Amino acid sequence: MKAFLRNLLAATLGVALFFALLAGGAAWKLDQKPSIRDHSWLVVDLYGDLPAYAGPGGVASALLSEEGETLHRVLMNLEKARHDERIEGVVLKLSSSNGAGPADLQEIRGAVRRLQEEGKQVLGFTDALDRSTFLLAGACDSLYATPSAYISYTGLATVSPYLKGALDKLAIEPQVHRIDQYKAAAELVTRTEMSPAAEENRTWMLQEMWEMGLQALAEDRGWDEARAEEMMQHALFTAQEAVEWGLVHRLLYWDQLAEQLKREKDDHLRTVSSARYADEPLEELGWKGKKKIAVVHAHGMIGGRQSRVDPLLGTMMGHETVGAALRRAREDEDVVAVVFRIDSPGGESLASDLIGREVELCAQEKPIVSSMVDVAASGGYHIAYKATRIVADPMTVTGSIGSISGKFNVSGLYQKLGITHDWVTKGPMAMLYSDLTDFSEEEWARYTENHWEDFDRWLDDVAARRGLSREQAEKVAMGRVWSGRQAVENGLVDDLGDWMRAVEVAKELAGLKPDEEVSLVHYPAPKGLVETVSYTHLRAHETVLDLVCRLLLE
């Protein structure tokens, strides 16, 4: 036993030493930041996922390599570059293999326009381009592509999977109640094709995206709808054809573009990566003031208490984590207003309501502006509407004021596996939530009645706060999904714009002059690499020591 303990303690010290060296090495690496030289080009690579903000795990998974890009980092870097005399211009490396939604691209597009207004060039470089990515690419001063680039320009489509057939084969019976017919997410498990209401909703959303896409084409290239449809008919372009059709200005490999942009006396193009530039303090590049605006970030599915990364659902927004961030912003005397950045398709109604309560408490003390990113629907709208003001991008997906509740009867699957159950009950409705039985007629009546009661309270509150009658609220709710542009028209959103517009509104509500300087403080503060590695080291160390203590106590 003693020999075992000695070996275990030695292993513990080894683990501690390893992580200490790793953290120390990371600190050394981060301290060796190359200086940014004059006439440098900021290079932003939009490839892969583009979450709205750094996830709960920080950058631990990246260890000593560059962490993944986020919408927040892109926007902050472009804003800093606008004021930074060392930055001559920006190169956006664009790919159709990106996770940016239409509103994400629109926000970056707005940042590009502001850079151009300051007289700075924004160049696009792509190896794979599609219609969606062209929403941003078309705004660049020049767009370059590699000679072997994959380029397509097709029409719009929306596709939904349906699991009802698979559930039937597994003998799983969904017992789902939805409010109401436009809440199409329920159809995933209850139907094999979309309902007329779902088709209607998707059709008007596609029309919205179509119209706003045409507007961007007219601004960037002067093309009309006929020209767009002509390109869609051609659909697939060689890189040379893309030049001939006007999608791309010139074909170049990256080394050729770098050679073209570099200063004559330099051997190489002076570039700054997005990760390196993120370390430049925002307050030294255009945002410095005694008064602060807090930016509270809330992204991911809503559910549970603590924000986390779920292996199946991805980034999860916990109500205690987001609530704590909102309270910190509310209680900071230097914070004059709050911008609540929301990117969420919804989730758990309880957690949504608890976050909404913190928004309400904040609004009672200082202005809070909900800034909708790519999606702020269902629970995402639930946490937004109690703010002092709501700002959305025209292409934001919002609304979906409705509800889905139910259970799955999996007794048929158990029977297929040879598993049987039996039970004894006492008292009414003891098997109400059981996954072994369907709802009885009486249970279903009580269950749906309770569901409607909860929803009616929410809808009445939305109507009261948005200045709508109950009848008006019902016409924009019941699961209907809207673009940000439509949401302004029907009273669910106050204003259109990106994060900069939300900051402008926050300043206005706080009684500040439009040109008054403010500082931005972000909640939760993104974890740096050293902090994340150190935290991992401490947790690993604590786990091993806890095991040692338990063994000693035995």
First to last CA, the chain: 11
Query: Strand runs (DSSP E) across 110-218, as ranges?
Result: 121-129, 142-153, 173-179
The whole-angstrom separation of Cα 345 and Cα 134 is 25
The per-residue b/e assignment along 287-297, b for 16 or more CB within 10 angstroms, e otherwise, is: beeeebbbbbb
The 3-class secondary structure across 302-331, one letter per residue, is ECCCCCEEECCCEEEECHHHHHHHHHHHHH
Of the candidates 185, 99, 189, the residue with the CA atom closest to the CA atom of residue 379: 185
pLDDT at 532: 41
pLDDT at 489: 97
Kindly write down the DSSP assignment for every residue of 350-409, as one continuous string: HHHHHHHHHHHHHHTTS-EEEEEEEEEETHHHHTTTTSSEEEE-TT-EEE---EEEEEEE
Two tokens at 364?
Answer: 């009672």
pLDDT at 286: 81
Of the candidates 47, 93, 116, 139, the residue with the CA atom closest to the CA atom of residue 252: 93
Average model confidence (pLDDT) across the chain: 89
pLDDT band at 531 (very low <50, low <70, confident <90, very high): very low
Which pLDDT tens digit goes with each residue over 350-408? 999 999 999 999 999 999 999 999 999 999 999 999 999 999 999 999 999 999 999 99
H-state helical runs in 43-152: 71-83, 102-117, 131-137
pLDDT at 472: 97
Phi-psi sector, 246: left (phi>0), alpha (psi -120 to 50), beta: left
pLDDT at 527: 58
pLDDT band at 3 (very low <50, low <70, confident <90, very high): low
Which pLDDT tens digit goes with each residue over 275-300? 999 999 998 888 999 999 999 999 99
- Parallel, antiparallel or unpaired: strands 368-377 and 389-392: parallel
- Parallel, antiparallel or unpaired: strands 292-299 and 301-302: unpaired
Q: ∠ CA 337-277-100 to the nearest 5 degrees?
A: 70
pLDDT band at 111 (very low <50, low <70, confident <90, very high): very high
**% residues pLDDT > 90 (the chain):** 84
Which residues partner with 125 through β-bridges?
A: 93, 144
Q: Judge whether residue 14 has pLDDT over 70.
A: no
Which pLDDT tens digit goes with each residue over 432-471? 999 999 999 999 999 999 999 999 999 999 999 999 999 9
Average pLDDT, stretch 177-186?
96
Average pLDDT, stretch 320-341?
97
Q: What is the H or E stretch that residue 47 is in?
A: strand 40-48
pLDDT at 73: 96
- pTM, full prediction: 0.88
